[in-house]
Structure 1
Amino acid sequence: MTFVQIIDCKTDQVDEMNRLLDTWIELTRGRRTATHSIVGSDRADARHVVEIVEFPSYEEAMRNSRMPETNRIFSKMVALCDEPPTFVDLDVVRDDQFDKSTVRSFFDAIGTGDVDLLRQLISPDYRDNDPADETGPLTADEFVAKMGTYGAAFDAAFTVRSQCAEGDLISSRWTWEGTHTGAFRGLPATHRQLDTTGTTTFRLEHGRLAEGWWNWDNMRLLRQLGLIQPSG
């Protein structure tokens, strides 16, 4: 179970505290068990500082706290504070990552051909960037139309294998499998079983996809269809 520790303190030496955290990160590289750290200052009181640290589990957090470097740096951090910091230890019982869920719904919508849902998920100003598309960046309408041609040509579905998030960017590693059931690039249905892989990164605004960048093995798809011949 994911474990989160909240450290609450007051200090007017926030810059020095950040330098200590940088030192700890450097000293514990390859051994620390903390996976994510956020430091924030109170807008109503800049001296009120909160650090939120995430660990895979409580046990991993305890391993982290027992490292000599952790104790040494923490002692120096305490010395920067007006009074001893307070701690809140939390076992995470719910973790909703809304942007990741939106992207998963996007891939589901493509697979099922749900155009209405697809339009709900992308911004009216959406721009799609795919090196495999020679026409260049596509508008929202052009992208929906393109997905319509794929939906008419293939009975297929995406499987999202993993996702990473940073700020407003979500990167998804996926596989695509299906059957060629309709005309595609002038080729009648072959009913061949097809598969390919790729990674797509989306930028989101207000919970909707605003821009997308695709990197996928389109050559594999074309070879399986017989539209290009294997090299060598």
Structure 2
Amino acid sequence: MTFVQIIDCKTSRLDELNSLMDSWVQATQGKRTATHSIVGQDRSDATHVLEIVEFPSYEEAMRNSNLPETDRIFRELVALCDEMPSFTDLDVVRDEQLNKIAVSTFVEEVINKGNVDAADGLCADGYREHDPSLSSYDVDLARAKEENREIMEAFQPSATVESMIAEGDTVCLRFSFKGRHVGAYKGIEATDREVSGTGHATFRCEGGKLKESWWNVDDLGLMRQLGVVEAP
């Protein structure tokens, strides 16, 4: 279970605090178990500073606390604060990265269920799709739906999300897919051959919807499986 520790302190020496955090990162490189750290300053009180540190688990957090470097940094942190900092320990019981949910829904509805029209509700106004396998590298939603419908009907693919990473308004997706060539695709009549492959996609989200996407799929591998291109 993900574990989060919130360090609440009062200090007028924010620059020195930031330098201290930099030295902690350098000193614990290869040893620390923390995976994410955020330092925030209260807009209504510039001396009120919070650090939020994320760990894979409580046990990993305790391993981090037992590092000699952590003890030294803590003593220096206390010296920078106007009063003793307080600590809040949290077991994360709900963690929703909403942009990842939007991308997962797109994969399930549009690809796995073959409902291309579901993109209308999942994509923001002005959506653009970039994919070298389409007729143009930059197409709008209507054109993307038209061309992707051909793909869905030709292969009836199912996609598996292998990994997904989100940062800010961007989500990166690594996936694999399987299908069967049951319909015409780019002038190639159905071969009834099973196909499989891998791909990557990057999405930019806006307002909880997909605003832009970039796709890279192993099209050469697909053509080889259809017998159109011979393997070297």
Amino acid at match of 1:163: M
- The alignment's C-alpha RMSD in Å is 1.2
SS at match of 2:156: strand
Structure 2 residue runs of 5 or longer lacking an equivalent are: none
Quote how far apart the aligned CAs of 1:222 are: 1.1
- Paired with 1:218 and 1:43, the residues of 2 have a C-alpha distance of 51
Q: Is the CA contact 1:17–1:77 (under 8 Å) kept in the aligned structure 2?
A: yes
- Paired with 1:16 and 1:214, the residues of 2 have a C-alpha distance of 43
Find out whether 1:173 has 2:174 as its counterpart.
yes
Find out whether 1:73 has 2:68 as its counterpart.
no
Amino acid at match of 1:103: V
Q: TM-score, normalised by structure 2?
A: 0.96
Amino acid at match of 1:191: D
Quote how far apart the aligned CAs of 1:189 are: 1.2
> In the comparison of the two structures, how many residue pairs are matched?
231
Amino acid at match of 1:74: F
2:6 is matched with which residue?
6
Amino acid at match of 1:208: K
Find out whether 1:221 has 2:222 as its counterpart.
yes
- Paired with 1:117 and 1:74, the residues of 2 have a C-alpha distance of 51
1:101 is matched with which residue?
101
SS at match of 2:46: strand
- Paired with 1:16 and 1:144, the residues of 2 have a C-alpha distance of 53
Quote how far apart the aligned CAs of 1:50 are: 0.7
Quote how far apart the aligned CAs of 1:179 are: 0.7
2:162 is matched with which residue?
161
Quote how far apart the aligned CAs of 1:113 are: 1.9
2:22 is matched with which residue?
22
Equivalences for residues 183-222 of structure 1 within 5 A: 183-222=184-223
Find out whether 1:139 has 2:140 as its counterpart.
yes
**Which is further off, 184-193 or 131-140?**
131-140
Amino acid at match of 1:76: E
Q: TM-score, normalised by structure 1?
A: 0.96
2:110 is matched with which residue?
110
SS at match of 1:45: coil
After superposition, give the CA deviation of every residue in 1:146-171 in whole Å (9 maximum; x if it has no partner).
Answer: 11111121111111011111111110
- Paired with 2:140 and 2:177, the residues of 1 have a C-alpha distance of 23
Amino acid at match of 1:222: M
2:36 is matched with which residue?
36
- Paired with 1:203 and 1:212, the residues of 2 have a C-alpha distance of 6
Amino acid at match of 1:83: E
SS at match of 1:30: coil
Q: Is the CA contact 1:8–1:86 (under 8 Å) kept in the aligned structure 2?
A: yes
- Paired with 1:193 and 1:207, the residues of 2 have a C-alpha distance of 35
2:183 is matched with which residue?
182
Q: Is the CA contact 1:110–1:147 (under 8 Å) kept in the aligned structure 2?
A: no
Q: Is the CA contact 2:134–2:147 (under 8 Å) kept in the aligned structure 1?
A: no
Give identity over the alignment, percent.
51
Quote how far apart the aligned CAs of 1:134 are: 5.2
